[in-house]
Chain A
């Protein structure tokens, strides 16, 4: 474009046309009143008005130009400075809103008098929309980061990446095994991790000032005993897992430990950039509530066991009396052999052995009863179910015999172990069996059969059924059986079955009651297989 007022009337004419129209940016010229003098092809494309439609039109009205400042102010600045640039809001012929990055320059004639304004403009609508979206998303993320009731840590683990790279170069392929054998390497990784940022919740949870946390490393927050969890998170990141989470113990700024859920996300792009977002949730209260619940459940289970022992007093007395009767009988026989002129030593030895065996038998019965009566914390571990079923029956031997009940036992071999407390599981079995015996006796059932069956359950666990040949459960009672204080027994507390259910559920199992096809009630419970 040439300078010179004498030629302004021809601007945009044939001489400049080719070059003018080849430019990618929108260029148009307006006089000092704002009327369009020249309008290139890119302007026509951008704004939707062709050159003929635009020429002589007042540009700002044509394009509905808007700016945060009044347009006369902008023009005044242009006149003072000779140029202006900034972003303008405009509307195209078809009504589209546009964001234009515009540059105005003032044209002067030979005497230095302003003659025209040249504007070059670029459509930045799309770019601005993207930037806005990004800003909003960043703000949202910032808000989340700041306001969530979760402790967030933005970490720079670039140096950890370098350590891992070096280990790989040194021939380490199995990081899990390597880090398990070298916890000091994991500790070193903690020391080279930099804290970029933390949110308010982190300061509250860790009882630390943000200033103390940021730019520090993370080693002090990991008790030695939790190092393996940190190592596992590193292994997860290395093996390109999308995320990692584990319950562990972490340490506050003051050194106090707390139960935590540690989570880490490994989006490919941020891992590539060497940064990592960590979330920590305080599980202290949840775990305390759970512990209180477990303690309460154990209390109830204990109370139920004691009450069950009460119901079995006669049977237990019978069982203890057998070896006691044998002992006193043997002792009396021994006295007689001894008082003979020539004591029969063989008889005496036999008697002595039998007394020892009977005393042991009595002691074993008492130990079994005491095990049931004792108040102690459950010891949950992997156990085989079939021996527990057999022990429960041993407990009820005299009860079954006294009430004329025949036992039918069908125990599947090769069942997986279940994770359970032996005493509580035995309690469930004894409770269900006692219910079954009472149901058959109270109904005056002719044939009294107690069937215990163990089998593999769908999904890998174990299923046990306790079935009787009694009258079955009235349909209207089935839905209420496991409710507390529901009982059909005289003097019953209505806590036996609810406690059975709470015991099984605390072991991850379920229980249900049914009536068998040939009558009789059936209680079925399942327990998941112990994790190996």
Chain B
């Protein structure tokens, strides 16, 4: 792994799922950084350096959708993949409307996540 490898940021408040996602991204050979909430992610100034963000939607503080809106407002076009365990159809519409690159439901098909991730990095 080198500095040239893509950096994926994971924003997920659930500790064990965050660790699992970090492990998955590492197994794919990418660099990875994990944050328990959107505020920490923004404070770490990772938005500039990340090549892709994988974020939960429901979190204490800023939601994943609000995070994407914040990035868009700041002119940061990093692709954002959103995952959620909630099932409301309206949520998917709101996520996609905010410009989510992908919208995935937990427990998601991991292959679908990888496929999304690779598409985002290729974009």
Question: Which residues on A are within 8 Å of B, measured CB to CB?
Answer: 314, 317-319, 321-334, 336-337, 347, 350-351, 354, 357-358, 361, 398, 401-402
Complex interface: chain B residues within 8 A of A328 (CB): 107-110
- Contact between A332 and B111, CB atoms less than 8 A apart: yes
Complex interface: chain A residues within 8 A of B26 (CB): 333, 347
Q: A326-B14, A401-B60 are contacts. A321–B106 as well, Cβ < 8 Å?
A: yes
Q: How far is the CA of A332 from the CA of B111 in the complex (A)?
A: 8
- Contact between A347 and B17, CB atoms less than 8 A apart: no
Nearest to B83 among chain A residues (CB) is A325
Specify which of A324, A334, A401, A402 is in contact with B106 (CB 8 Å cutoff).
A324
Complex interface: chain A residues within 8 A of B77 (CB): none
Q: Is B19 an interface residue (CB 8 A)?
A: yes
- Contact between A347 and B85, CB atoms less than 8 A apart: no
- Contact between B106 and A332, CB atoms less than 8 A apart: no
Q: How far is the CA of A328 from the CA of B104 in the complex (A)?
A: 14
- Contact between B23 and A330, CB atoms less than 8 A apart: yes
Q: How far is the CA of A351 from the CA of B87 in the complex (A)?
A: 28
Known pairs A327-B20, A358-B16, A401-B59 / 4 extra A-B pairs, C-beta < 8 Å: A319-B85, A332-B24, A347-B26, A354-B23
- Contact between A329 and B85, CB atoms less than 8 A apart: no
In B75-123, which residues have CB < 8 Å from any A CB?
83, 85-87, 106-111, 113-114
Give me 12 A-to-B residue pairs in the complex whose CB atoms sit less than 8 angstroms apart, sorted by A's number: A318-B58, A322-B16, A325-B20, A325-B107, A326-B16, A326-B17, A327-B20, A328-B110, A329-B113, A333-B24, A337-B27, A347-B27
Question: Which residues on B are within 8 Å of A, measured CB to CB?
Answer: 14, 16-17, 19-21, 23-24, 26-28, 58-60, 83, 85-87, 106-111, 113-114
Closest Cβ–Cβ distance, residue A118 to chain B (whole Å):
116
Nearest to A313 among chain B residues (CB) is B87
Closest Cβ–Cβ distance, residue A353 to chain B (whole Å):
10
Q: How far is the CA of A156 from the CA of B78 in the complex (A)?
A: 98
Specify which of A321, A333, A398 is in contact with B27 (CB 8 Å cutoff).
A333
Complex interface: chain B residues within 8 A of A324 (CB): 106-107
- Contact between B23 and A329, CB atoms less than 8 A apart: yes
Nearest to A322 among chain B residues (CB) is B14
Nearest to B28 among chain A residues (CB) is A336
- Contact between A322 and B23, CB atoms less than 8 A apart: no
Complex interface: chain A residues within 8 A of B17 (CB): 322-323, 325-326, 329
Complex interface: chain A residues within 8 A of B58 (CB): 318, 398, 401-402
Closest Cβ–Cβ distance, residue A229 to chain B (whole Å):
55
Q: How far is the CA of A333 from the CA of B85 in the complex (A)?
A: 20
Q: A321-B107, A325-B106, A347-B26 are contacts. A354–B20 as well, Cβ < 8 Å?
A: yes
- Contact between B16 and A354, CB atoms less than 8 A apart: yes
Q: How far is the CA of A350 from the CA of B19 in the complex (A)?
A: 10
Closest Cβ–Cβ distance, residue A530 to chain B (whole Å):
36
Complex interface: chain A residues within 8 A of B20 (CB): 325-327, 329-330, 333, 354, 358
Q: A322-B17, A323-B16 are contacts. A317–B23 as well, Cβ < 8 Å?
A: no
Complex interface: chain A residues within 8 A of B113 (CB): 329
Complex interface: chain A residues within 8 A of B23 (CB): 329-330, 333, 347, 350-351, 354
Q: How far is the CA of A318 from the CA of B106 in the complex (A)?
A: 8
Specify which of A314, A327, A354, A357 is in contact with B87 (CB 8 Å cutoff).
A314
Closest Cβ–Cβ distance, residue A511 to chain B (whole Å):
31
Specify which of B28, B85, B111 is in contact with A318 (CB 8 Å cutoff).
B85
Complex interface: chain A residues within 8 A of B59 (CB): 401
Nearest to A406 among chain B residues (CB) is B60
Complex interface: chain B residues within 8 A of A402 (CB): 58, 86
- Contact between B16 and A321, CB atoms less than 8 A apart: no
- Contact between A321 and B110, CB atoms less than 8 A apart: no
Q: How far is the CA of A314 from the CA of B24 in the complex (A)?
A: 27
Closest Cβ–Cβ distance, residue B83 to chain A (whole Å):
8
Nearest to B56 among chain A residues (CB) is A322
Complex interface: chain A residues within 8 A of B27 (CB): 332-334, 336-337, 347
Complex interface: chain B residues within 8 A of A337 (CB): 27
Q: How far is the CA of A317 from the CA of B109 in the complex (A)?
A: 17
Specify which of B16, B28, B83, B108 is in contact with A357 (CB 8 Å cutoff).
B16
Closest Cβ–Cβ distance, residue A151 to chain B (whole Å):
65
Closest Cβ–Cβ distance, residue B89 to chain A (whole Å):
13
Closest Cβ–Cβ distance, residue B49 to chain A (whole Å):
23
Specify which of B14, B83, B110 is in contact with A332 (CB 8 Å cutoff).
B110
Q: How far is the CA of A395 from the CA of B20 in the complex (A)?
A: 23
Closest Cβ–Cβ distance, residue B82 to chain A (whole Å):
13
Closest Cβ–Cβ distance, residue A369 to chain B (whole Å):
15
Complex interface: chain B residues within 8 A of A401 (CB): 58-60
